[in-house]
Structures are given as C-alpha cells and as structure tokens.
Structure 1
Amino acid sequence: MVKKQPFSIYLVALILGILFQDHFILQAKYINILLIISLFTLFLVFFKNYYSSKFKDFFSVFFVFILGVFLLNITKQKPPNIALSKKENIVFSLDKKLNISDKNRRYEVTFYKNKNSFKSILTIPKNHKQLDFSHFYKAEVYIKKTEKPYADFVFNYQKYLARKNIFFEAYLPQKLYESGVKKLTILEQIKNERLKLLNKISNSSLDEKSSAFLKGIILADRTSIDSDTVSDFQNSGLIHLLAISGTHIGIIFGLIYLLCLKIFPIKFRSFAIILSLIFIWSFALFIGLGNSVVRACIMISVYFTYILINRKPDLLHAISLAGLMILIVNPQQIFDVGFQLSFCAVFGIYWLYEPILNLMPRSKLKAINFIIEILAITLTAQLTTLPLVLFYFHQFSFISILANLIVIPLAEILIAFSLFLSVILGFSINILWFNTIYDFLILNLLKLVHWFATLEFAMNRNVALNFVEVILIFISLYFLKFLLKQLNWKNLLNFGLIFIIFIGFRLIFNFQQTRKNEVLTHFYFNKKIISIKNAKDICFLVPEKLDQKKVEKYVINPYLISVRNHHYKIKTFNEKVKSVTINNKNYPLE
C-alpha cells in the first residue's frame, strides 16, 4: 500500500501524529527520544537485510507519525509571561482586520510593552478611525487573558485563538493616537496596498452590498458583508463562495491559463502553465496569503507540476503531497475547519465523482454534459463534506445542491467580472455604466441566494453529531463507491452493515441524553441563564431584558445540540429576582 500511495499513507500518519500529540501532550524529552529511535530505524532501511526490507514501510510510516508529534510540539505556543494591569497605556500595530459588528471593529494586533511583544484581539468602537499597517498606535486599553468557555458544548474561542498564538483580548473605549510611522516589511507594504484598494472599492459608485461582495469574493475581505447576507449564504449552502477558496483560485487560474493559450502557441503550453502559476501565487500574496488561498495554490501547483515534468497527473498524489507540505510547515492547519472541508471535498471528488457521474444520463450536447459534470462534482463535494458540516455547524439545507448547481456556473462569470473590476478600480478608473452592470448582477444574485435561504422546509437545524458518528459516516462513504460501481449483495451488505451500526450508535447516544436530568447555569456576557432539563423537557430561565434571538443563538441552541433535543420553553424573570430555588437547591441569578 505504501508503494502504491506513499504520500497518502504518510499524510495519514502525519495527521495521526499531530492529533496524538494534541490529545496526549508528550513531554519534549520523550518526543526527542522517539524521534531519535525513529530516525535510527529509518536509517536501518538502507542496509539490505531480511528485517529491514520486511519492515521498511513500517519504519518510514512510524518516522512520519513521530514527525507529526514533534512538529506540533515545537509549534505549539505557550501564553507569554507578561505582567499586565487591567488597564494599560500601550503601543500597538495592526496585523489583520477582522469582522465588523453594528457597533465595533475588531482587529488582530501586536502590543508592545517594555521589551516584550504579544498578540491580541482588539475591539474598537466603529466611530474611531480605521487602523492601517503603516503606523504604530498608542491608547489606553482594557486588557485580559482569553477565558475558557463555561461548558464543553460552547465554542472554545480560547483554544481557537491559542492555535493562532493569541492569548489576550482588549477593548479600546477612548481615543487612540498615532505613535509614529512604522517601517514596513515587504509583506506589510503589500497588505497596505491591498488596504488602499479596499478603500477605493468602498469609495466607488458601487452599491454598498455590491462593494462588500466584491471585496469578499476577490480580496478575501468579508468584514464589510452584513450579517444577513452571510446568514443567507450559510442557510443556502453557498457560504464557500464568500470565502476565497479552491473554487475561486481554480477559476482564476483557468482564466489566466486560457488567456495564455490564446496568446502563445500550443507548443508553449508549459510556459502558459508557469505564467498562470506565477499569477495565482502573486494574487495570493496580494490578498494576504490566507490559509484557504495557500491551500488552493499548493494543490494546483502540485497537480500541474506533474504535467510540467511530463508525468500523468494523479489527483490523490497531488492532494496528499499538498497536505504534507502544508502540515509540515504549519501543523496547526489540521485543526482549521476550512482545511478539513477543502481536503474532504477534493478527496471526495477523487473517490466518488466517477461512480456518481456514470449513473447520470449523458447527452450529445457538450453544454448539457458540462452541467451534468457540475452536478456530479457538486453532489460529490456535498456528500463528502456533509459529516463535517453537521459536526461543526449543525445544520444543512437540502436545497443547497440545487443552489450550487445554479450559482456555481454563474460564479465563474462573476469571479472573472469581479477580478477585472478590482483591477480597473485599483487604477482609480471608476466607469459608472460598468459599475451599474455589476450592481445589477450582484444584487440579483443576492436576491436569488436570499430566496434559497428562506426555503425553511429544506433546512435542518440543530443537528447533533459526535466524532464516532462522523467516522461511521465516512466509512459508509468509502463503501458507497463500490455499491455505486456494482450493485450486488456483497457491496450492499457492507454498506448496509455500516449504516445499521451508525443508526445503532445514534439511538444509544440519543437515549443516554434523554435519560439525563440536570440544572445548569449558563452565561451570556455578565448575565446568568438557568436551564432545567427533566428527561425530554427543557426550560430556560432568561432575564427579561435580554435579546431572546441572540440568547437562542449563543446559549440555547448549543445546549440543545449537546443534549440532542429540540423541545424547550423560555420563561423570563425580572432583574430584581436575585436567586431561584430548584429541587431544594438555590441558584443565584446575579
């Protein structure tokens, strides 16, 4: 197996090593001992004898596994040991723009205190001047360490930030001052040019929603997209279009490659590939080398390198090698949901695309076949990413397959249009009629996406799925290929057995949660919410002045998912109520 698919086996071994270290956390001295042992056993492979030839595959896989353990250990950061007051007068610089809410802007920044520097999330009121990369700033901020969530079923924001080497959160309520001009690195100069282009797009004649969409789909800046639009794309299963991903980079690469083929003769195809690869990497550098963009560029580069060296392209080899390169450089990427979804989608296309395509009718018309192929790719990607979508986001719309089938062909045109528009706006060329056409296309696209999102009958929310269930679904998808290729009793039995095991485990997990009775205290900012669970009945005690929709989103729904229940009621209480007694036990509400 290692001889046939070495990169795939090594990728699995590396991932298992990273996950092992994340869970068990071996000390550095033991990791170094294991690394020396694995290197020694790997060295023995070069001596030809019976044992080395028999176990060389095991030795090489063992080495990659230990390498995964080692890499995560050396890249895992610890909180900096810095003495900080609750309120600090401090200098900082901008690292990255984050999302914008109705009241605030959020940034990733680097704070400087004495001779120390550390990263933090900084929240600033929206009426303050926007930060740029070319200045240092000074302000009085309230700062604190990130905190663990109050329960396991709540998103662990502290752990998420720690993987990015961020251990602090800060709020800047008052004025901020420029503290000096920053000497920019080349990367920071590129970031600043991107920021200037974003501002040019904002100041153009484009509609506000169109300009926000343009910045998101081409420049990887979703900070201006309003929450309703994001919600529409999520509910319709089209959220991947708002994030620069393999789809966008693939379309841009294809456009440049076709353009090069039109300019150069076919015998210069290699030159066209190299120019196209240079363009997408330059583009990735300009928009900030985001994780999803780099992943897509590496995948495309590895795949087309096979063509450049006159080897038959192998999709599995290409994506496995790309995965190895990404995780060796940054093993924390394995915990990135985008990384998991993108690789699952591509592996799924490799595994299930042909069996699904072969079941679909074919036509003599190329246009019809093209649509059928898009449908097969969409269906394959949806199937293979569904377990992770349910595990992380707990919702899925059956209409998303139809939505993708309609919107993805349009996306190719829109991405090309958006790229061209970004270029001309970058040169401060503001063509009104051109912008009007773009507004018309985007605003109607947003209406179409909103219509898909409003089809509530197709939406499944608060779907509970744990790790065991996810693994069982992936195993069933593995056997699905054989069932689709040849419908016989053996393949049907293999697939059916996994499906029955999945249903059995799901019934057990649901039954365990149904029997549970408990009273929990939840926290929404500085307010307390009490949940009372008695078998299938759940009641939430909520302060009457809180926004119930937000309480449902951030408190109630995560709890319902954890206990696998959809039935609940809300009772409100006045803020004057100081405590409540439940089952002879007092629960303070302050």
Structure 2
Amino acid sequence: MKFINFTVVKFSVLLVLGILTAYFLPITTFLLNYLLLLLLGVYGLWLWARKQLIQNIYFGVATYLCFFAIGYFSYQMRMPQFQPNHYTRITSENTPTLLQLKIAQTLKPDKYNLKYFTTVNAINGVPTNGKILLNISKDSLTKFVFPDEMLLVYTPILEISKPLNPHQFDYSSYLKSLGVYNQLRISENDILKTKKGSKTLKGIAQNLRAGIIEKLQNTKLKTDERAIIQALVLGEKKDIDKNLYDEYAAAGAVHILAVSGLHVGILYIILAFLFKPLLRWKYGVFFQAILIVLLLWGFALLSGLSPSVTRAVTMFSFFALAKLFNRESNSINTLFLSFLTLLIINPLWLFQVGFQLSYLAVFFIVWLQPLFYKIGYSKYWVLRKVWAIVSVTICAQIGVFPLSLYYFHQFPGLFLLTNIVVLPFLTVLMCGGILIVVLTSLNSLPDWFAEMYNFLIEGLNGFIHWVATQDEYLFQNIHFSTLKVLGAYLLIVALALFFTKMNYQRLVSSLLAFSVLITIYIYDELSTSTNQLVVFQRSKQTLIGYKSRQHFMVFKNDSTKNISDTYPIKSFITAVNINTYSEEELPKLFRYKDKNILVLDSLGIFPNHQITHTLLLTNSPKINLNRIIDSLKPKQIIADGSNYFTYVKRWEKTCKLKKLPFCHTAKQGAFPIE
C-alpha cells in the first residue's frame, strides 16, 4: 500500500513536525510576531502559486510550510505566556488569592483528597482563563461538588511538585500535557460560595454518567463486576481494585478497561450489522452512516467524553463518512484525516500516551492486517474468524510494542492467548453492558440479568487471574530508551515494506535498519555503564545507591529485605539498565572517587580529625553542627528524608552562616554525589 503518496499523510507529518519543534524549541512573544509575519508571507506565496496554470515547486513548498506553521503556532499559542488572560500572568504563586472556579472534570481521588480539573474564570474580579488542579480535603467535605458548579475560594496558587528522585513519573509534566500548570489545596472552609454555572456538554455528560453509576450501585451487580462494566461502557476506571487492574495489565488485557478504539470499533461493527437492512433502500447508505455517527457520539457522551473515547469516535466517524462516499480503499488516508483534524483542534493530544498508542495500533492494523490475513487464510469459517482475531492482535501489538516498552517497561508474553479469549468475549460483554446501563437508567434492570452478567465477568476475571499468575511469561523491568524506540520502529517499517514487496533495495534497507538498532543497543550499554552514587529521597528512611556499570547496590538503615520492587529503586533500576542488584547495611563511612562521605545517624557520634568531603545527616541526630563543621571541615552537607523538618531548618541556617552548601532531599530531591 503506497500510503506515503496520500497528501493528507504528508500534511499530518508536517503538522507533527511543527508541534514537536514548538515543544522542543519554544520562542518568546517578540520572535513569535516576526514568525507570524513570515507565515503571512508563506500564505501569500501559496495564494499566488495556486493561481498558476501549471503548478511548480513553490506551491508544494508553501503548502507544506503552512501545515508546519499551523502545528507550530497552534501549540505555541496554547502556552500560558502567549495568553494575556491566563491566570499565571495575573497572580503569583503562594499568594492567597480570591479565585472564581468552574468544575470542568472529576478525577480519581487519592487517599486524602478529592481531585478536579477546574477553569479559573476570574482572579480578584479580573476575568481569566486556564485550567488548574483542585484538591479538596476529604476529611473536611460534607457535600460533593459536581461538573459545571461554580466555586468562590480564597487560597494561594501552588506549584505542582516535580519528582524528588531520578527517573520517577513526572506528574507535573503529565498535567502540562493536559494544559494544567498549577494546583490548589483547600478544605471546605476555604470555599466561600457555590452556585450552579452555565451547563456545558462535557459537564452534562459527566453528571449523566455519575447518575448512572449511582443507580448501578443499587443493583445486584457485585463490586468488582460493577467496576468492570463502568470501565467497559462508561469509561470510569476509578472504582477498579488496584490488584485487579494490575492483573489485567500483567495479562496484556488492560486495554479493555479503557474505552478506546477497540470498544468503539466493536460498537461500530454491531451498529453496522443492526442497520444493514437500511442498505436495501435507495438512500439507505446515507441514513446508515448518519445513524452510526450519531449513536457513536451518543456513546461518547454516555462515557463522559473522555479524551480516549472522543479520539476513537472521531476516528470511526471519519471511517463511517468515508464509507458513505465509497472511500473504503483509502483507510489509511481516512485514519490520517482524523489524526490531522484532532491535532489541529488540540495539539497537546500528541503528547498523551493514549493518543499515541491508539493511532499506532489502528495504523498497523489497517496497514499490515490484510497481509497477515492472507498468510493464514483458511477455507474453514471458524479458522478464518480465529485467524482474523489473531492477525489483528499481532498487528496491533507490533504497532505499540516499542512504545509500550518505553512507557511501561514490561511485556505480557501471553497477550495472544489473552486476546483470542477476551476479544470474542468482549463483544458479548459490551452488548450486555450497554443493555444493563440502559435498563438501569430506566430503573427496570431484572435481578436475573444482573446476576447472569456477574457470572460472565467473574469468568473473565478468573481467566485474567490465571494468566496473570503465570509469572514466567511476564517480562518486567525492561530498559527501553527513546533511541531504541526510534530504532525499533525504523526496523519494523523496513521489514514490513520488505515482506510486502521483496526486492534488493528493501532488503538492504532492512539490514541497514537492523544495523542501526544494534548500534543503538551498543550505545545504550556504553552510556549507562558509568559509576554513580546517589542519596535518594524517601520519607523516614535512608537510602544510598551505588551504581557500578550494570550492577546496583543499595545501602539502607533498616532490616527491610529486597526493596528492588519498591519506590524509588524500581524505576531507577529500569531506567539505568541494571542487570544485577544487591543490598547492604548502611556503613558509617564511604569512600567514593577519593572522597570521604561520613554518615551521621541518631547517635551523633563522629570521629575526630577525620577529613570529610560530604557529611550525610540521618535520623535526626542531636548535634552541635557548628562544632562538627569546625572539626571535620566538610565541603558539603546533606540531610535526607529521615530527619525532622525542625532539625533540618536549624541545620540549613547554620550552613548558610558558614557559607557551606546544604541539600535537603525532601525539598531539593535526590542528591548525586560527584
């Protein structure tokens, strides 16, 4: 399939390049004005070139530059510094402010707080815009707040904390990809006034979903089974038990718990089958496409218009409309048209994991599945259907494999078995789940039907549990860098093109891609083989890690055994490509790169006349730091997370007077000793 000849594919690539350029090379407002003038010049060139009878290279160059510029400016203009009314330009952090908020989205709560995305409509009476994360203490709350509700609060705007240990999940960067740059932490006492705001489509969808979930809680559905149906049909995952969710992830079936292209695709097939009789009419194709699109968006509304389902429904809406105009042969063209449209609407979606995985999976299914299907074609109907599921699963897994390793660092070896069983089962569960939701909404769900659905979900969960317990088939803690992702996709595309049409040029390209991937692996081994000593941040515990090439040793001050699978060690081991691991009791003195590192614990005993480069304070020792500094003359002092904050503040003042570098890991994060 010569998909690269499709114009929309080229436009999409240029748009993505523009967005990525704006992400990695942001500019100031001053330069942006000059680039806008340049864009107008390019647009003028395009207008001139398109009027020529015989098109030349200038028309093509101007067109591509326009799409590159659209990507660049659409991303750049969404940054707070280019929005004059954004709340970050009107107020400063940590200063109490009168804020008028509107609840935009309800999030999964943590142990202590209810969480919401809100829009900041005004600050001290000045109209503003921009999204902010709102945390409301559970202990203080007597009534819940709902989407589209308005709140008047008086509280400081706070920074979203960066991770305190290396290679940890950066929640602040994740929120920035959603357009959220700050947070609020309040109790109910900080809410001065509440009122109903103007209704929005997304707010109506979320409140409708919340009402259905409340009704589901009063049915015969069991807790785990109800959580699964909420995830399958309503896109609500917050009630799924963590252990159950981890089992689905280990079995390679976690994708069925998030309403996405898979669920929308199944629903699309079901609707196309139900409305097939319409094709007998003269305008039946038109009515079928319109009904399918309307019902798909109704399903999106029912599931709360989450980003994943909105993407999927948009994608399949384009497929439905393409079918209406007899454009089925250009599936990749249609796919990229939806991709282009969504990124023009919101370029920030490009940096969301779900967006990346969903489009890669569908792209490889559309591209490679016909080839795989021909290879395993059988004259027997049952075998053809089984092979169709297998080929779709393999193609989707090929598409997302490198990126999944990069983000999740694990690979479920039994994914094929899981999907062969689950995918046919999922169609039944989707149909039954939608029926249950509709009947529950009408207050007419029969108990026998709920109990039958309980039985089906219990069977699915039992199978998932069995697969997840096959530990030898779950490959975890796999190091996979950005370069490896790029190299892996280069090899996958080269091999796919070679097996599509075998010739000498494509064989050479495949061998070159394979050589590039091997080179990347060698480079990664060399770049991660350096030595390193790190004082980690962990509350009430001292952890020091020593990395020597591919071996990692952890020194700790308690008797806890094997903490390699706990925070913050697990992600560090994976990120720096560790092969062997060990643990030792924390010594009183380290020697690293000809530097002495003295560990001072709660006893506060230190040697006299010991030349010390770094002094590490642990477990709140009762010491006279002035006297220790005069005696040991350290070059720097570190206090880890095992110390009382009152002690740390006193030590910090002392070091400031002595003009001595001081680091508190609970505030500044893990400290690498050079």
Q: What is residue 72 of structure 2 aligned with on the other side?
A: 69
SS in 1 for 2:536: strand
CA 1:572–1:206: 2 relative to 1, 3 Å? farther
SS in 1 for 2:118: strand
Equivalent position to 1:273, from 272, 278, 289: 289
The 1-side partners of 2:67 and 2:166 are apart by 32
Q: What is residue 22 of structure 1 aligned with on the other side?
A: 23
CA 1:34–1:404: 2 relative to 1, 3 Å? farther
SS in 1 for 2:334: helix
1:427-506 mapped onto 2 (5 Å cutoff): 427-485=442-500, 491-506=506-521
Q: What is residue 13 of structure 1 aligned with on the other side?
A: 14
Q: What is residue 420 of structure 1 aligned with on the other side?
A: 435
Q: Does structure 1 residue 147 correspond to structure 2 residue 183?
A: no
CA 1:82–1:476: 2 relative to 1, 3 Å? same
For the Cα contact (< 8 Å) 2:232–2:259, is it kept in 1?
yes
SS in 1 for 2:445: coil
Structure 1 gap ranges (5+): none
CA 1:506–1:157: 2 relative to 1, 3 Å? same
Larger radius of gyration: 2
RMSD (CA atoms): 3.2
The 1-side partners of 2:496 and 2:454 are apart by 43
CA shift at 1:467, angstroms? 1.9
SS in 2 for 1:121: strand
Q: What is residue 576 of structure 1 aligned with on the other side?
A: 602
CA shift at 1:139, angstroms? 7.0
Task: Kindly indicate whether structure 1 or structure 2 has the higher relative contact order, using CA contacts under 8 Å at least 6 residues apart.
Answer: 1
Q: Alpha-carbon deviations, 1:447-490, whole Å to 9, x = none?
A: 21122122211122121222222111111111222343456665
CA 1:73–1:89: 2 relative to 1, 3 Å? closer
For the Cα contact (< 8 Å) 2:177–2:352, is it kept in 1?
no
For the Cα contact (< 8 Å) 2:300–2:309, is it kept in 1?
yes
The 2-side partners of 1:519 and 1:249 are apart by 49
Equivalent position to 1:585, from 614, 618, 627: 614
SS in 2 for 1:278: helix
CA 1:499–1:378: 2 relative to 1, 3 Å? same
The 2-side partners of 1:512 and 1:343 are apart by 32
AA partner of residue 614 (structure 2): K
Q: Which moved more, 1:297-306 or 1:150-159?
A: 150-159
Q: Does structure 1 residue 121 correspond to structure 2 residue 122?
A: no
Q: Which moved more, 1:237-246 or 1:56-65?
A: 56-65
Q: What is residue 520 of structure 1 aligned with on the other side?
A: 534
The number of aligned residues is 586
Equivalent position to 1:40, from 40, 44, 65: 44
The 2-side partners of 1:92 and 1:528 are apart by 41
CA shift at 1:167, angstroms? 2.2
CA shift at 1:45, angstroms? 1.5
Structure 2 gap ranges (5+): 82-87, 587-599, 617-638, 644-674
For the Cα contact (< 8 Å) 1:132–1:195, is it kept in 2?
no
CA shift at 1:356, angstroms? 2.1
The 2-side partners of 1:578 and 1:108 are apart by 47
SS in 2 for 1:45: helix
Q: Alpha-carbon deviations, 1:234-272, whole Å to 9, x = none?
A: 111111111110111111222223222247745413212
AA partner of residue 276 (structure 1): I
Q: Which moved more, 1:59-68 or 1:34-43?
A: 34-43
CA 1:493–1:190: 2 relative to 1, 3 Å? closer
SS in 2 for 1:133: coil
Q: What is residue 106 of structure 1 aligned with on the other side?
A: 115
SS in 1 for 2:162: coil
SS in 2 for 1:99: coil
Q: Which moved more, 1:98-107 or 1:83-92?
A: 83-92
The 2-side partners of 1:2 and 1:58 are apart by 20
Q: Alpha-carbon deviations, 1:494-513, whole Å to 9, x = none?
A: 32332232122202211221
For the Cα contact (< 8 Å) 1:35–1:70, is it kept in 2?
no
CA 1:381–1:311: 2 relative to 1, 3 Å? closer
CA 1:578–1:513: 2 relative to 1, 3 Å? farther
Q: What is residue 179 of structure 2 aligned with on the other side?
A: 165
For the Cα contact (< 8 Å) 1:141–1:173, is it kept in 2?
no
Q: Does structure 1 residue 532 correspond to structure 2 residue 542?
A: no
CA 1:53–1:553: 2 relative to 1, 3 Å? farther
AA partner of residue 124 (structure 2): N
For the Cα contact (< 8 Å) 1:135–1:178, is it kept in 2?
no
Q: Does structure 1 residue 567 correspond to structure 2 residue 596?
A: no
CA 1:577–1:194: 2 relative to 1, 3 Å? farther
SS in 1 for 2:537: strand
Among the aligned pairs, what percent are the same residue?
A: 23
Q: Alpha-carbon deviations, 1:287-340, whole Å to 9, x = none?
A: 222221121112112122222223444111101110110011101111011111
